[in-house]
Chain A
């Protein structure tokens, strides 16, 4: 792997091996509610085979799974159930928002639909589509595998738990490995308004990309405080 500011060579290799094994043996919990479930079934079955990526068997217990696939619309009646299941999963855990309804409520903007599950739990990858084609599903899974590979169990902040470390120092940590950017620019996204995946290494993006905020997921309380402070400054 290219130079990462974790520590020495030994911890880097250890990180790489652990992440490699994590990303290719994901146990999924498919939280299937609606129509996207049909495309999930299509992606999981023999034609579009999700098993060749290692994400083979759905483990229908949150205690035994790594990835929570939230497939389909989540209504307000279902939201506490989703939160309970997310809380029951053991670290490290990742969340994939599958489909338009899980990402942002889809085209249902009414009294009963939760407008995106990131109002409730932190999400790692959003897969767009209504429903997304199985190729898009596999692309989203590969994106998640990239993100898992670039994490590490031993990070500078001293936390042994990779997802906790990610949630706390996510954006600053990743970006500081590749660029030297002042705090203000990072949090206000003034450095490259057209980039939408600044955390992904080695990719080249053209100017035609849709502009979205660069960090997917949520701001940790530390980031929120920093943003507040910056807003008050200016």
Chain B
């Protein structure tokens, strides 16, 4: 039962990780196999080429882009603050892969991979909506889950959970204020 997440060169990389290390020698930051999930971390400049390789190369053949999301490490005081997480699944070989990319807060931008899989379009829109990470090259980066008038990016850790921005005027109800709640 492994306890740590990032394991440097002492751990032997699995087949896919070795392949990626071979093809993209400078871009791989680290990798791990925590709980059996094969994970690699790549630099964000190379994300499009890595994903294209994963989709097209016959040894990888990842037809399904399963998930695309981000994690905000604000409370852990990590630099860089965000981390993009991509999950892929191959139907021909049956293996899964997780690709992570660190994104700094001041230069909150990643290249969009929407030309590789159609599904990525809305996932990236939702990521922008919730986190504010901009995807360069995305055709239509607008709000998806929140409404247009909403200001801020809700899933960031510094957005307070209770801050509501109603778009229609609400009535006042005395009983609610009696107990001190909205």
Q: Answer yes or no: do A and B interact.
A: yes
Please indicate the chain A residues that have their CB under 8 angstroms from the CB of B167 in the complex. 76-77, 79-80
B interface, by DSSP: helix, strand, loop or mixed?
loop
Known contacts A77-B146, A77-B147, A213-B175, A111 near B170 by CB under 8 Å:
no
Q: Does the CB pair B168–A111 fall under 8 Å?
A: no
Q: A96 contacts the other chain (Cβ, under 8 Å)? A: no
Is the beta-carbon distance between B173 and A80 smaller than 8 angstroms? no
CA distance A8 to B10 in the complex (A): 95
Residues of B within 8 A of A80 (CB): 167-168
Give chain A interface residues in 172-207, CB to chain B under 8 Å: none
Which of B160, B161, B165, B176 contacts A76, CB < 8 Å? B165
Determine whether B57 belongs to the interface, using a CB cutoff of 8 Å to chain A. Answer: no
Cβ < 8 Å to A, chain B residues 125-182? 146-147, 154, 159-168, 170-171, 173-176, 181-182
- B165: chain A residues at CB < 8 Å are 76, 111
A 100-136 to B, binary, CB cutoff 8 A, 1 in contact else 0: 0000000001111011101110000000000000000
Classify chain A's interface size: 20 to 34
- Residue of chain A at shortest CB distance from B174: A219
Pick the contact of B171: A112, A120, A213 (CB < 8 A). Answer: A120
A227 interface residue per 8 A CB criterion = yes
Contact between A119 and B170 (Cβ–Cβ < 8 Å)?
Answer: yes
A94 to chain B, nearest CB (A): 17
Tell whether, in the assembled complex, residue A111 and residue B159 are in contact, meaning their CB atoms are under 8 Å apart. yes
Say yes or no: A112-B168 contact (C-beta < 8 A), given A76-B147, A119-B173, A227-B174.
no
| Interface size of B as a range | 20 to 34
Which of B160, B168, B175 has the largest number of chain A CB atoms within 10 A?
A: B168
**Cα of A79 to Cα of B173 in the assembled complex, Å:** 17
A218 at the interface (CB under 8 A from B): yes
Any B CB within 8 A of the CB of A83: yes
Q: Tell me which residues across on chain A come within 8 A of B174, comparing CB atoms.
A: 219, 227
B162 touches A109 (CB 8 A): yes
21 residue pairs A–B, Cβ–Cβ below 8 Å: A76-B166, A79-B167, A109-B182, A110-B162, A111-B154, A111-B160, A111-B162, A111-B164, A112-B146, A112-B154, A112-B164, A114-B166, A114-B170, A115-B176, A115-B182, A116-B176, A118-B171, A119-B171, A120-B168, A218-B171, A219-B174
Lowest 3 CB-CB distances: which A-B pairs, in order?
A119-B170, A77-B147, A213-B175
- Chain A interface (Cβ within 8 Å of chain B)? 76-77, 79-80, 83, 109-112, 114-116, 118-120, 212-213, 218-219, 227
Give the interface of B toward A (CB within 8 A): 146-147, 154, 159-168, 170-171, 173-176, 181-182
